[in-house]
Every structure is written in C-alpha cells, then in structure tokens.
Structure 1
C-alpha cells in the first residue's frame, strides 16, 4: 500500500458502498510514516462527514466535497478547490453510479437518460475536468468502477449495462492517448458485492427499486473487494474482475458466447 503514501486520492460515491469501503481501507493502512490525503465526494454531505470521521485521519488530510455528478458545469470549480486545498490529484476513484431493475419494454426513456448521465456522462465529465491537472503533473491514475454487467448483457439492466459498456470504450481510448504522458487507467468490474446498489436501483418509471437482491445480499464483503482492488491498482492493472463465480461469465462471453447467451436468457429473477 506504500504506493498511496503522500498521495491525494479523490473518491466519488464515497458516502456508501464501494466508495466508502475504499476510503476506509486506505485510511486503515495510513499512519504518520505513510500518510494519505483524501477527497470524499457524493451528494449527501452528512454521510460524507460520517465517513470522514470513520477514517480516523487528521482533519487536515480529509476534504469533504459534496457533489452531484450530473451537475457537469460545477466540475471545474470542484477540481480547482481540490487543487487549492492539496495542490494536486494523484488518484481519482470514479465510483458514483446507479443501477436498474426493469425490462426494456416497460422502461421510460427518461430512465435511460438518467442512467447515462450518472454512470457515463458524469464520469467522463469529471475525468475531463481533472485531466489537464494530471497532464500538467505528468502523472495520475484513474480508477473506473464498471461492472461484470459492463462486459455482458443482463436481464432488467439494459440501461445499466449500456452505461457500463460505454465506460470501457472511453477509458480504453483515454489510456492509449495518455500513457506516454505518465497517466494510468484501471477499469474494475465488480461482480456481486454486498452494497446498497440494488436498493437504490431505478425501476421502469425512475422510482427507487427499494429491494435488496438475493445475489447482492450473498455477495463479496466490500472490504474484501476493496483490498483486491487496491492491490490491482498498486500494480497498475489495466482491467480487473473481482467477485464470485459470476465473474466467469466474462470468460464465457469471450470463449463460449452461445453457452453464456443460453444461461442468461434462462436466468430468472432480477
């Protein structure tokens, strides 16, 4: 974990789930000899303050920066605030996102727009705002949370799948463009991780799903996931799949696509 020492690490979606777990795991490994500086962003300021307290880091080493990832016009000001506070940005963990539980036939088009705004456009807009600073530093590491659903098409998640698929194309291109400038991009595809993502998923009309999926409830603990993620990031892995047996679907898609198609179309439940 020494690669994160003295680094400024900005985490979006930091008020819960994977984002919160990343903040806590990084702080767990920090001490006077290996300090870190965190920027915590999400919409809920009170929850960000809670996470900031739980990190146990000195107040000077944590910047709570409430942010709506669909307020694209505010990103330049947010980046400037981080720059003024800490002087640089070394890691940007892009975790903010929402899921979906509805069929294509039933889903309002506005739901697809919301999913793309949060999961795709918000992510690339913040990246675009941070990029000039990282290019000027000639260093920086973007860590993008996709999903196993970013590699497959899964029932009841058409918009979620589309938004996550789009991330791969954008960040693969960005990686190629900025490698010679000293930047790195890691795309992580979680499987079932025990987070509130299904509770907060959108239904066909854009309302909150409000139910915990059985697979999510039995999923990998966030702290276990996060330790594996941070190890991959420290090794500058380009793409990593973390979860249970569901991650094998990515390999089936590559080598036995017909078999995977039969499995997915016969799969019941959301």
Structure 2
C-alpha cells in the first residue's frame, strides 16, 4: 500500500481506527441521519460502480451496493481495523457486490474512468494534499461521473456546539481548524475541487438529528473516547462529568439527541 498521508495512517491504524471499529454501531447512529441526503446527491443507479472514500466500517458502501444491485461498490480506507469490521459486517449482512481495499485515496492506483460515482460520509477531511487526492478521485471517475460527500461544518450554533462550549473555551479546541473542520469553508472546498478539475461544484448545509447514547452518562463515555476529544482534552473522570452535565438537557425519547449540521458537496467530472 502506497501511503503519503502517514500521520493519518498511524492514527487510523491505532487508537482512532480501533475505537471506530469497536463502536461502529454508535458512530453510525451519530451519522446515519445524513445518509439520505448524501445518496440522493450521488444519484446512484442500479448498474453503477461506486467508490466510497474513507469508507470506515463500510455502512455507506453497503448502502451504495444495495442501490446498485447490478453494479458494485468499492470502499477504500487507510484503517485496517475498520476494514476488517467492514468485511465482517458485509459478509454478515450478505451484500455480495460490496468490496473493500486498504489504501490512501490520495495516491491509490484506481483504474481510470472506472466509477460512475464517488461518495464519502465524513471521510474526506483528512487528506495531506486535498487537491492531489481529489485529482486522483477525478481520474477514477468516468466523464460526467458524480462526486458527493459530507464534511463536518462548524459546530457553532448547533447542539453539539453547545456541548463543546460547556467543556472547552472554543469548539475549535476540540475539533481543530484542520482535521474534522478542514473542509468546513465552502469557498475553500470550491477552490480545491476546481483545482482538482471538477466542475459544477455546489455546497449546501444539511441538518440531522444525531443519537449519541442511551442517556447523558452513556453519551459522555462515548464522546470522551472520540479521538479529537481524547487527544485535545485528555481522558479523566472530570471531563466525563462535564460532558454528562452538558448532555443532560438533550435527553429525550430514551436517548441523547443532538441537532447537527454538515456540508453536502456535489460536483461532476
């Protein structure tokens, strides 16, 4: 496997990847509310070949494969722990036209013009060189092929932003201006995709309810283990207590439910 994004490869093959693999169902509960908007933007047809970038545990790869029963879906990710989970879940769920490869999408040797659509659910914010990465993805798409992805927006003004504000002076202390928020500026996104050769670039905000846990204490335990929180704020009982207090107002209907916002981006080769 050729890797240029070495720092991310280390993270996703260490604690971060193991946490996502071990808690795949919980991360999906957080992010599933955005799936319908992503798949609608990708406009996957029954014979399409679909590329899922930063596929993680493969949930979106399997959704794409089911929408293309006469085609296929390929998930690519740096993380061996998550890819192992993705393959196991795919076998368990019986999705024969979904497959997975370990690779760095920035340099992975995708076949030229092999895919009708490329999608990503929050898996494209971590490229070392995003122009090179999206240029490589563009090469893998056929002429007129579609790119659709979700990127984390600033949490300011959202329920998650309220939680972060209660445990850190600024939300960016938790998420960082790079990393999860690296694609949160639509002007930057348009510039990157334009430089990579994409056309008809459009960005819009989408909203969803995220389920973080059964109750405030359960949600706090989970959020405290999320990589950016653990890395920036530590891993002590005081942090869990602060998150629990911040989560408590959002307990309803047997779960902690937070309103969240993301950027939905779509473009064409």
Q: Give the TM-score normalised by structure 2.
A: 0.50
Q: Give the TM-score normalised by structure 1.
A: 0.49
Instruction: Give the structure with the higher percent strand.
Output: 2
